[in-house]
Amino acid sequence: MSFPEIVRTYQQPLYWYIRRTVLVHEDTEDILQETFIKVFRYLWLLRRSDSLRTWLYKIATNEIKRYYKRHKESVSLENISDGEFVDAVSLKEADEVISSAFLQMSPLQREVFTLKYYDNLDYDQISRITGSSKNTLMVSYHEACKKIEKEIKDE
């Protein structure tokens, strides 16, 4: 698959994966751009046996981690202005309850929930993408689901 084909095929899914994790559109755009720069630069390293999708999500995940290292804080209700909050919770596929719960999740919980629930990846694939153990991922997913359940009950 050529680089333009990769961008056309994966730009939107990667955007929404990053957006659900980072929540702010401008930061998502920056991370997505950095992701595709790395893809372009290292596409030659992709082996036939590697899964292109897993490889792309791994690069995006590494860029998200770099973002959090640079910013040293995750997005939370305390550091989102009213305008950004409206923007952050208006995620394309997420309903209001999940979006609100996302703001209470850690970056790893958002990441795991997004990859499992929206992108239908299994824990083995998510483990290869995030570098976290399957047990850590299962706990993070469970905690994310509990936060969503709490939002539903509180409504």
Q: CATH number, domain at 16?
A: 1.20.140.160
As a whole number, mean pLDDT of residues 22-27 equals 85
List pLDDT tens digits, range 32-72.
Answer: 999 999 999 988 888 765 688 889 999 999 898 888 888 75
List pLDDT tens digits, range 105-155.
Answer: 888 898 899 888 888 889 999 999 889 999 999 999 999 888 888 877 776
Closest CA to 58 of 20, 111, 110, 99: 111
Select the more confidently predicted residue: 154 or 9: 9
Residue 92 near residue 20, CB atoms below 8 Å:
no
Sort 126 into a burial class: Cβ within 10 Å, 0-12 / 13-18 / 19+: buried
Residue 75 predicted with pLDDT over 50 = no
Beta carbons within 8 Å of 64's beta carbon, 6+ residues apart: 18, 21, 22, 31, 107, 111
Q: Where are the alpha helices (DSSP H) in 43-133?
A: 52-71, 82-89, 96-102, 107-113, 123-130
Residue 34 near residue 5, CB atoms below 8 Å:
no
> How many domains are contained in the chain?
1
What is the extent of the structural domain holding 121? Answer: 3-74+82-154
